[in-house]
Amino acid sequence: MERYTAEQIQVITFGEHVRARPAMYFRVGKGSPELPTEVLQQVVWDALHHGDGAHGQISVEIESDLSFTVEDDQRRTADEQGRPLPGFFDSLLDKGRWAPAAAAALSVRTVVEVWLDGRGYRQELAGATPVGAWEEFGTFRLSGTRTTFHLDPSYCGPDEAIAWSLLPDELHGYECDALPSPVTIPIRDLRAETENSAGE
């Protein structure tokens, strides 16, 4: 029987694992032309489905072939001072939501905004690692998260791009039948300067 030694064990970071095996997170591997769309789809699925099984209100904006923003109404867990609890790598990325963290790992820049009871928190990331501390600002929003991802063009490849269409059956599973879902999901594709909605 072959035995492993401590020298043979390699410890890698979360970001390194996502980049080495993206299919474990996004169903397709590096080099697939579908990768940017699959990243978007997983982030949208995560935003739409709340932890209690309910469906939330979300919106999607596609800025370029490799950049997109997803906004949702999920409430972030707060500490005793009403501030968001630190997430992945002490960032604003919620520890309970792996898809945005994995998408950030494939991005050169990610901007996260979290709203909690009239207070906003903003942070920029390089990959999934914070560039700096959170910035606080005032907002009228009670709860939610808005995250913008700029996927790494050197990782995705020159011929890969986000497809604008996301069909309802791609965003739901069999367990979703028991709970109502928004009729449409607003998807604004700035590349074409047109608005489309999944399910319309």
Work out the burial of residue 7: count CB atoms within 10 Å of its CB; fewer than 13 is exposed, 13-18 middle, 19 or more buried.
exposed
Per-residue HEC secondary structure of the chain comes to CCCCCHHHCCCCCHHHHHHHCCHHHHCCCCCCCCHHHHHHHHHHHHHHECCCCCECCEEEEEEECCEEEEEECCCCCECCCCCECCCHHHCCCCCCCHHHHHHHHCEEEEEEEEEECCEEEEEEEECCEECCCCEEEECCCCEEEEEEEEECHHHHCCCCCCCCCCCHHHHCCHHHHHCCCCCCEEEEECCCCEEEEECC
Q: Please tell me the predicted confidence (pLDDT) of residue 199.
A: 44
Question: Cα separation of 44 and 83, whole Å?
Answer: 24
**What one-letter code names the amino acid at 15?**
G
The CA distance from 104 to 122, in Å, is 15
pLDDT at 185: 78
Q: What is the pLDDT of residue 200?
A: 41
Give the pLDDT confidence score for residue 165 in this predicted structure: 65
Q: Residue 5 and residue 62: Cα distance in Å, rounded? A: 47
Q: What pLDDT, on the 0 to 100 scale, is given for residue 5?
A: 66
pTM of the shown model? 0.87
- pLDDT at residue 51 in the model: 80
Whole-number pLDDT of residue 7:
61
pLDDT at 173: 61
Angle between helices 98-105 and 35-48 (to 10 degrees): 150
Q: Are strands 58-64 and 185-189 parallel, antiparallel or unpaired?
A: parallel
Return per-residue pLDDT of the chain as tens, 200 residues.
Answer: 666 665 666 667 889 999 999 999 999 999 999 999 999 999 999 999 888 778 889 999 999 999 999 999 999 989 999 999 999 999 999 999 999 999 999 999 999 999 999 899 999 999 999 999 999 999 888 899 999 999 999 999 888 999 866 665 566 665 565 555 555 678 889 987 655 545 44
